[in-house]
A and B are shown apart, each in its own frame.
Chain A
Amino acid sequence: MSARDEVFAALRRSLGVGAVDAPRRDAVAARLAQAPVGIIPRRGQGEPAERLATFKSEAERVQATVAEVASAADVPAEIARYLRENNLPATLRFGDDRRLAAMPWAATALEIARGPSEGDDLNAASAAFAAVAETGTLALVSGPDNPTTLNFLPDNHFVVLFAADIVGDVESVFAKLRATYGPGALPRTVNFITGPSRSADIEQTLLLGAHGPRRLHIVVAES
């Protein structure tokens, strides 16, 4: 008997069930199809303006910084300002995301590179798929638009978030993923990011920038 067969036989022996068991199969099929939503905390709920305010305060609680700009056209200037004021090199790498590509980067002094990171970039930008007000969490999806390496290799990560993409809870992000990629399907990687990288492994002292970005700056565009 193969390892697989034996594991399943052992499970069914322990559960006292057979392999063909219509009511159990129906229960499982129904849960997988319906994906019932459980308890949703009140914290992240509310009107869009309320959700934005909650998102901002929760993200700041976990040492992210948040800037609000009026429109997508203002994003490059905000990123350039942040780099200048933090004495960081005026470089930036991002992927093929059309919203990012359409922004007026030429109006800044930033030296722009495109595509995934090889590990020697200091600064990168990504566009968020969505964000969760409840916990100040960003949701990013993999692909040529926003390569996953940009989320982890650079020291400073800028995430551009459109205010309309801020939802109350992670369940709403899952609903948006199902609507975008089809039921039961996901891109290779979905990264939920809540603040910059950290470790408390040395005597429980909180240190930022363990392996991933030391700084996470979120630029929220109102439109």
Chain B
Amino acid sequence: MSVAATTPRFKDNVHDALNDRRLQGALPHARNFIGRRAEAAARLPEFDALRDSARAIKDHTLAHLDLYLEAYERKVVEAGGHVHYARDADEAIAVILGVCKAHGAKVVTKGKSMVSEEIGLNAALEREGIAAVETDLGEYVIQLRGEAPSHIIAPAIHVTRDDIEADFRRLHRDLAPDRDLSRPEQLLGEARAILRDRFLSADVGVTGANFLVAETGTSIIVTNEGNGDLTQTLPKVHVVLASIEKVTPTLNDVAQILRVLGRSATGQDMSVYTTLSTGPRRTGDPDGPEEYHVVLLDNGRSATLGGPFAEMLRCIRCGACMNHCPVYHAVGGHAYGWVYPGPMGAVLTPLLIGVAEGGQLPNASTFCGRCEAVCPMRIPLPKLMRTWREREFERRLTPPLARAALRLWAFFAKRPALYRPATDLAMRALALIGRRRGRFAWAPFAGGWTRGRDLPAPQGATFQSRWRAKSGAVK
């Protein structure tokens, strides 16, 4: 069973997020990604050409996904690994529980995996009495807090340093209560020491995968901390959990996508650790897992292929879209209510949990277009969100007031003789209210709308009237 969504309460979530002072204090950290990405992209003249190359590779792969999956599976088996297919979250959990039980596992360490969030793996393991230990620092912090990640690559971005200190003091009770945790280094050191013991005592290590390589039957993780490597190297069993669209034809194809992944995500040319794993340890190997399993999850991907949202399957989970999204900056990731936030989440969530549950998210966009502009895989996120909005409207899931407003607008829009004077009047009125200060946030009665946003005031004339005046002048 996948994680319960609060997405249907999206509007309430947004309201809560905007009024959460602690969250609002933490959210500006997400903007740090913007400058770093821009700098990394500027330092590589070939960056945009590589984006095109990466996109073409994914499009080719998706058009041949069945065949590349077959080839990948053959190579995994050849290398001594086991491949399991799972149609949905329940099947994936059953496979992983089966592997854990076969080895009598008591402790499972985990590298960072959004697919494991998608299927609700931790809760399922805990229900069976197996301790699931998140080892990525950010994931560890939110696991202590009983929260879900609020960002796909920076899961604890909503948490402040003071919060972490309080959580560590509350939960690491074996340690001296008067220890100094005032500096981030000390927090990291404490987590490192505690997790080191868990790495060494784990029976099974579960990681995700950034790529599955058909050429060699290899799974690849891209990380910075090294926790994923300890997770998959030290226990007897390594389980890779990945969705089917992670398959990539060749190592050289991976190299193209790697060059846009790190730069788009954190502004790094290369993340610290790019690790290729192929099968279990070989004869003579002094370390590495004795068993290697891959769980390939469909969970809606095969149905998405060939449909209007197929381009979403190019997503490499870099997080650039949310890092550049004004809505994400205002409300953070938890407001989106399920596993995947930001623009990619707004498109993906209705695909994975249905439009009835997730249909509100595509409305959480100003269509400013920044997500598409920075997406390394050139996914037309605004277009896909618009497609969802159309569907929501067609299925009459849009609230009555919004439907009425749209009908009113449509009435005028279809009648230019009415539309022009009406918009002229509206622009003049807005200019009158807002022009002196250029914004609206100060205006009486506007507070409900402008608390989490504002817009520049119009200058008093519509585009059409100015165009008429201008072309009149040219003639």
Interface residues of A in 169-223 (CB under 8 A from B): 169-171, 174, 177, 184-205, 207, 209-213
Nearest chain A CB to B217's CB is how many angstroms away? 8
Whether the pair B275, A191 counts as a contact (CB closer than 8 A) is yes
Do B298 and A7 touch across chains, with their CB atoms under 8 A apart?
yes
Does B282 interact with chain A (Cβ within 8 Å)? yes
**Docked complex Cα distance between A3 and B244 (Å):** 13
Contact present for B87 and A7 (CB under 8 Å)? yes
Task: Say whether, besides A149-B233, A184-B216, A186-B278, A210 and B192 are in contact (CB < 8 Å).
Answer: yes
A15's closest neighbor in chain B, by CB?
B306
Cα–Cα, bound, A134→B277 (Å):
23
- Cβ-Cβ contact count across A and B, 8 Å cutoff: 263
The smallest C-beta distance from B111 to any residue of chain A, in angstroms, reads 10
Q: Is the CB of A147 within 8 A of B286?
A: yes
Q: How far apart sit A16 and B63, CA to CA, in the bound complex (Å)?
A: 10
Contact B216 A186 (CB under 8 A): yes
A2 located at the interface, meaning its Cβ lies under 8 Å from any Cβ of chain B in the complex: yes
Chain A nearest Cβ from B443, distance in angstroms = 35
A167 to chain B, nearest CB (A): 12
Residues in chain A near residue B303, CB distance under 8 A? 10, 14
Contact of A58 with B269 in the complex, beta carbons under 8 Å:
yes
Please, which residues of chain B bring their CB within 8 A of the CB of A17?
66
- Is B274 an interface position by the 8 A CB rule? yes
User: Inside 8 A of A203's CB, which chain B residues have their CB?
Assistant: 26, 29, 160-161, 184
Q: Quick one: CB contact mask for B26-48 with A, threshold 8 Å, 1 for yes?
A: 10010010000000000011100
When distances are taken between beta carbons in the complex, the residues of chain A under 8 Å from B266 are: 200
Knowing A116-B286, A148-B229 touch, does A14 contact B85 (C-beta < 8 A)? no
Cβ-defined partner of B46 (8 Å) among A14, A39, A200? A39
Complex alpha-carbon distance, A223 and B298, angstroms: 50
* Per-position 1/0 for B171-212, Cβ under 8 A of A: 000000000000011011000100110011000000000000
**Interface locus among A29-37, A65-73, A79-87, A158-166:** A29-37
Q: Which among B68, B218, B226, B296 has the greatest number of chain A C-beta atoms within 10 A?
A: B226
Among the 9-residue stretches B16-24, B131-139, B359-367, B412-420, the one with 4 or more Cβ atoms under 8 Å from chain A is B131-139
- Confirm or deny: B64 has a beta carbon within 8 angstroms of a beta carbon on chain A: yes
Complex contacts, B200 vs chain A, CB 8 Å = 119
Residue numbers in A under 8 Å from B60 (CB-CB): 31
Stretch in B119-127, B246-254, B450-458 touching the partner: B246-254
B71 close to A35 (CB less than 8 A): no
Given the complex, which residues of B lie within 8 Å of A31, measured CB to CB?
Answer: 60, 249-250
Q: A35-B215, A171-B255 are in contact. Are A189 and B233 (CB under 8 A)?
A: yes
Q: In whole Å, how far is B50's beta carbon from the nearest beta carbon of chain A? A: 5
B-chain residues with CB within 8 Å of residue A169 when the two chains form the complex: 255
Interface pair A42/B45, CB less than 8 Å apart:
yes
Per-residue contact bits, chain B 141-184, to A (CB 8 Å; 1 contact, 0 not) = 10000000000001111001100100000000000000000001
A151 to chain B, nearest CB (A): 7
> Contact: B87 with A15, CB < 8 Å?
no
Residue of A19, A137, A188 with most partner-chain B CB within 10 A: A188
The reply to whether B307 and A153 form a contact with Cβ atoms under 8 Å apart is no
Inter-chain CA distance A169–B89, complex, in Å, is 39
Q: Is A99 an interface residue (CB 8 A)?
A: no
- Does A211 contact B307, Cβ atoms closer than 8 Å? no
Bound complex: CA of A15 vs CA of B216, how far in Å? 25
Contact B252 A148 (CB under 8 A): no
Contact of B250 among A16, A35, A170 (CB under 8 A): A35
Indicate the size class of the contact surface on chain B: 35 or more
| A88-125, CB < 8 A from B | 95, 115-116, 119
Q: Chain A interface secondary structure, helix, strand, loop or mixed?
A: loop
- Is residue B82 within 8 Å, beta carbon to beta carbon, of the partner chain? no
Contact across chains for A198 and B225 when beta carbons are under 8 A apart: yes
Complex Cα gap A147–B307 (Å): 46
Verify A148–B233 contact, CB threshold 8 A. yes
Q: How far is the CA of A8 from the CA of B66 in the complex (A)?
A: 6
Given A38-B53, A39-B256, A42-B45, the answer on whether A27 and B288 have CB atoms closer than 8 Å is no
Tell me how far the C-beta of A135 lies from the nearest C-beta in chain B, rounded to whole angstroms: 4
Given A38-B253, A197-B225, the answer on whether A190 and B275 have CB atoms closer than 8 Å is yes
Task: Decide if A46 is an interface residue (CB 8 Å cutoff).
Answer: no
Give chain B nearest CB distance to A94 CB in angstroms. Answer: 12
Are B287 and A149 neighbours in the complex by a CB distance under 8 Å?
Answer: yes
Compute how far the CA of A27 lies from the CA of B266 in the bound complex, rounded to whole angstroms: 35
The answer to whether residues A11 and B66 also contact, given A170-B255, A194-B271, A199-B137 and a CB cut-off of 8 A, is: yes
Chain A residues with CB under 8 Å of B269's CB are: 58, 62, 134-135, 194
Quote the shortest CB–CB distance from B444 to chain A (angstroms).
Answer: 37
Tell me, in angstroms, the Cα distance from A212 to B224 when the chains sit together: 9
Chain B: residues with CB nearer than 8 A to chain A?
Answer: 26, 29, 32, 44-46, 49-50, 53, 57, 60, 63-71, 75, 79, 84-87, 91, 135-138, 141, 154-157, 160-161, 164, 184-185, 187-188, 192, 195-196, 199-200, 214-216, 218, 224-227, 229-230, 233-234, 244, 249-253, 255-256, 258-259, 266, 268-282, 284-288, 296, 298, 302-307
The 7 closest A-B pairs by CB, nearest first: A212-B226, A201-B138, A210-B225, A10-B302, A14-B306, A192-B274, A190-B276
**A-B CB contact pairs (8 Å), 9 listed:** A6-B87, A7-B85, A12-B66, A14-B303, A15-B66, A38-B256, A116-B287, A134-B269, A174-B255
- Report A's interface with B, CB cutoff 8 A: 2-4, 6-8, 10-17, 19, 24-25, 27-28, 31-32, 35-39, 41-43, 58, 62, 95, 115-116, 119, 134-135, 137, 142-144, 147-149, 151-153, 169-171, 174, 177, 184-205, 207, 209-213
Besides the contacts A15-B63, A203-B161, A212-B229, what 7 more A-B pairs have beta carbons closer than 8 Å?
Answer: A11-B305, A14-B305, A148-B288, A149-B234, A201-B137, A203-B184, A211-B225
